Amino acid sequence: MMKLPPLAAIRVFEAAARHGSFTKAAEELGMTQAAVSYQIKVLEERVATPLFLRMPRQVVLTEVGARLAPATTEAFEILQAAFAATRESADGVLTISTIPTFAATWLVPRLGHFQMEHPSLAVRLQSTRDMVDFAQQEADVGIRTSKTPWPGLVCHKLFNSHFSPMLSPALAASVGGIKTPEDLLQLPVLDTGDPWWTIWFKLVGIENPQLIGDRRNRLGDQHLEGRAVLAGQGVGILTPFFFKPELEQGQLIQPFDVVGTDVHAYWLVYPESRRNVPKIRAFRDWLLGLIGEVNI
What pLDDT, in 10s, does the model give residues 256-284?
A: 999 999 888 999 999 988 888 889 999 99
Q: Strand, helix or coil at 268?
A: strand
Which uninterrupted H or E stretch holds 293?
Answer: helix 278-293
**What fold, for 7-86?**
Arc Repressor Mutant, subunit A (1.10.10)
DSSP 8-state code for residue 243: G
Tens of pLDDT, residues 176-187: 999 999 999 999
Percent composition of the chain: helix, strand, coil (DSSP 3-state, to 5): 45, 20, 35
122-127 and 93-98 as β-strands: parallel, antiparallel, unpaired?
parallel
Between CA 77 and CA 93 the distance in angstroms is 19
Instruction: State in words which class domain 92-296 has.
Output: alpha beta
Q: What is the pLDDT of residue 150?
A: 85
Q: Which residues contact 179 (CB under 8 A, 6 or more apart)?
A: none
Q: Which distant-in-sequence residues (6+ apart) come within 8 Å of 224 by Cβ?
A: none
pLDDT > 70? residue 43 = yes
Q: Per-residue pLDDT for 64 more than 70?
A: yes
- Quote the pLDDT of residue 214: 67
- pLDDT of residue 90 exceeding 50, the answer is no
> Is residue 207's pLDDT more than 50?
yes
pTM of the entire structure?
0.65
Write out the residue limits of the CATH 1.10.10.10 domain(s) in the chain: 7-86
State the span(s) of the chain assigned CATH 3.40.190.290: 92-296
Least confident of 50-54, 59-63, 135-139, 292-296: 292-296
Residue 81 pLDDT greater than 90, yes or no: no
- Dihedral angle over CA of 269, 221, 128, 93, nearest 10: -70
- Whether 100 shows a pLDDT value over 50: the answer reads yes
Would the pLDDT of 219 be above 80? no
